[in-house]
Structure 1
Amino acid sequence: MFLSQLTLTDGTRAVAARTDGAAHLVPGATSTRDLALAAIAAGRGLAAEVAARGRGDAVDLAEALDQGRLLVPLDHDDPAHLHLTGTGLTHLGSASTRDAMHQSAVETLTDSMKMFRMGLEGGKPDQGRIGAQPEWFYKGNGHAAVAPGAPLTSPGFALDAGEEPEIAGLYIIAPDGRPFRLGFALANEFSDHVTERGNYLWLAHSKLRVASFGPELRVGELPADLCGTSRLVRDGAVIWEKPFLSGEANMSHSLANLEHHHFKYDLFRRPGDVHVHFFGTATLSFADGITTRDGDSFQIECPDFGLPLVNPLTQCPADATPVAVAAL
């Protein structure tokens, strides 16, 4: 089952479900978050909650996407209660890309490679055990969540504006503080790779950018072996294209281990909050020497996730004026 959020032609919000190629509205649902909370209260899964509500009117998701009416598939009424976070160096092959960015003549083993090896050796522990801690980063809150089809805006101080095609886990915290995973979505974990390359301690700065995910939320478990395509389109022509792999068969960490090391913090188990956690990638156009430009289009697709995730790039002009803080 796939879920999506959209604005109807009359301006109201709705949730759509797709199970057999045809999508229909979910009666009584205006947000995926409320639908999930209702499922938790009823003691049943998300798919069962949707089934219990019956089928509403048919909806054309491709048309809604073309018209700019599809939203991210999970959000929060208060954007401050949606957390965008992620983990890096989680995929087989991801270390070589990062290592090439950070390697120097005097280093024989970078911190990036050390972190990756920790994941290889202890990222998939036996059931019931805690594995190696992954790299973790913060991207922002719901104000940084960009709808499918909407522009990914790069700030004027950025040195790069590059895509990161990956899978994100979508979660909600129950009233009793338990995290529940609703499912997974395609994601573009938009980053500044030139800033990161300058010094790996600037990773935190490089990740404080907007991101997009969706258009559809895949309910249920993640297939172990996923293959999608990431491409960059400029002036109507594809200038770069490459497959990307995900799923646990292509990862150095298990999903359970990554989830534990995020939700072990009380801060991330606040009732009602929503979390979008990016699981990482090993495929970047930046690694192939591509420099993006204003107006480029990022296109990420995978047959297992329904509609493709497409976002144009908007680059803000550089501004050398420092931010002034006023004293009260």
Structure 2
Amino acid sequence: MRLIQLLDGDGATRVGEVDAGGAQVRLLEGPASMHALATAAIDAGRSLDAEVATLPGDTRLDYAALLREGRVLVPLHHPDPAHCRVTGTGLTHLGSAAARDAMHQNLQQQAQAGTLTDSMRMFQWGVEGGIPAAGEAGAQPEWFYKGDGGIVVAPGAPLPSPDFALDGGEEPELVGLYLIGPDGTPHRLGFAIGNEFSDHVTERQNYLYLAHSKLRACAVGPELRTGPLPRDLRGTSRIRRGDAVLWEKPFLTGEANMCHSLANLEYHHFKYAAHRRPGDVHLHFFGTATLSFADGVRAEPGDVFEVDLPELGAPLANPLRTVAAGFAPGGVRSL
């Protein structure tokens, strides 16, 4: 099932179901948000699909028009942004078979030479132990924090990059959308397209700057896809500059292209009690293997990032915009 959040004609947040052809959206009567819909499903002991099936709604809206008019919102949010955690895991994707073979050879050479970097060592742990048997914990992945719900922008909205940033580059990724139930159980509502967006120049200066490089905005949506995912997901990441495509490259995701299972990544995120606070929303990025930055591309304000992953519905497109940080050295006041 394909679900979205949108603004109706009165400017109120609503939930809609996208039809199989992707042309129309059925406006659901009842829940005022995806958070409310998921909460009702948890309370009733039903799946999200089953909960939607109980809801009336005869109004049909043109999906393309909703996107064009900027009325499609992030597919899941919390009414209080402080109760939404945006996080991610890195070094999770294998890439193409050729790149995989080259990576394995490089790992062996570095290991023999005693020069294996921390990043490569962590990747190797994932290759060796990131897909454990059902019910078991596998290798622990890299993990990072991006921010709370206030950093998430809707489809079509500008991605703000602070003026102190050294770079602003896309990261096309799969995102898991979760709501913590009243008893502390994480419930996965489904998956969405994401642009994790990071400062790769800052990260390249020193790997210990990774935490700084991730404290940026991100985009998620337009759709939430419920149920299991295909193991092999293939999409396209591109950057448009004016009427031209500046850069374009296919990308692979899904468990067939990863060195960690989704279940293992979820376990290592939610094993922390602080990540299981009832009522909280989590948006978790699962990593990527494709970056324009790796090809020497530098995005400029006004460029549009587009992540197209057909199995998850309509593409996610967002223009880049530089914004003032709003804070200067010495800006802290003593009380």
Give yes or no for the alignment of 1:54 onto 2:56: yes
In structure 2, what residue type is equivalent to 1:30?
Answer: A
1:115 counterpart residue number: 122
Q: In angstroms, what is the RMSD of aligned CA positions?
A: 1.9
Determine which of 60, 64, 67 is the counterpart of 1:65: 67
- For residues 156 and 107 of structure 1, the distance between their equivalents in structure 2, rounded to whole angstroms, comes to 40
Give yes or no for the alignment of 1:87 onto 2:89: yes
Give yes or no for the alignment of 1:260 onto 2:262: no
- For residues 72 and 126 of structure 1, the distance between their equivalents in structure 2, rounded to whole angstroms, comes to 34
Identity within the alignment, %: 61
Determine which of 300, 307, 310 is the counterpart of 1:300: 307
How far off its partner does 1:320 sit?
9.3
Give yes or no for the alignment of 1:207 onto 2:209: no
- For residues 91 and 245 of structure 1, the distance between their equivalents in structure 2, rounded to whole angstroms, comes to 8
- Would the aligned equivalents of 2:19 and 2:26 in 1 still touch at CA under 8 Å? no
Alignment of 1:223-242 (within 5 A): 223-242=230-249
Unaligned runs of 5+ in 1: none
273-282 or 5-14: which moved more? Answer: 5-14
* TM-score, length-scaled by structure 2: 0.92
2:45 counterpart residue number: 43
Cα pair distance change 1:320/1:45, threshold 3 Å: closer
Give yes or no for the alignment of 1:222 onto 2:224: no
How far off its partner does 1:292 sit?
0.8
In structure 2, what residue type is equivalent to 1:12?
Answer: A
- For residues 252 and 114 of structure 2, the distance between their equivalents in structure 1, rounded to whole angstroms, comes to 29
- For residues 323 and 28 of structure 1, the distance between their equivalents in structure 2, rounded to whole angstroms, comes to 49
- Would the aligned equivalents of 1:156 and 1:319 in 2 still touch at CA under 8 Å? no
Cα pair distance change 1:252/1:323, threshold 3 Å: farther
1:18 counterpart residue number: 18
* TM-score, length-scaled by structure 1: 0.94
Question: Per-residue displacement from partner, 1:89-145 (whole Å, max 9, x unpaired)?
Answer: 000039989x9xxx9xx9832111100000000000011110000000000001001
Moved segments of 4+, more than 6 Å: 94-97
- For residues 143 and 13 of structure 1, the distance between their equivalents in structure 2, rounded to whole angstroms, comes to 17
How far off its partner does 1:20 sit?
2.1
SS state of the match for residue 122, structure 2? Answer: helix
- Would the aligned equivalents of 1:157 and 1:319 in 2 still touch at CA under 8 Å? no
- For residues 249 and 292 of structure 2, the distance between their equivalents in structure 1, rounded to whole angstroms, comes to 8
Give yes or no for the alignment of 1:281 onto 2:292: no
1:193 counterpart residue number: 200
Question: Per-residue displacement from partner, 1:47-98 (whole Å, max 9, x unpaired)?
Answer: 000001133311222211111111100001000001100000000039989x
Question: Per-residue displacement from partner, 1:289-320 (whole Å, max 9, x unpaired)?
Answer: 00110110001111101111000000236889
Unaligned runs of 5+ in 2: none
In structure 2, what residue type is equivalent to 1:32?
Answer: M
SS state of the match for residue 49, structure 1? Answer: helix
76-85 or 311-320: which moved more? Answer: 311-320
- For residues 181 and 323 of structure 1, the distance between their equivalents in structure 2, rounded to whole angstroms, comes to 43
How far off its partner does 1:19 sit?
3.9
1:134 counterpart residue number: 141
1:29 counterpart residue number: 31
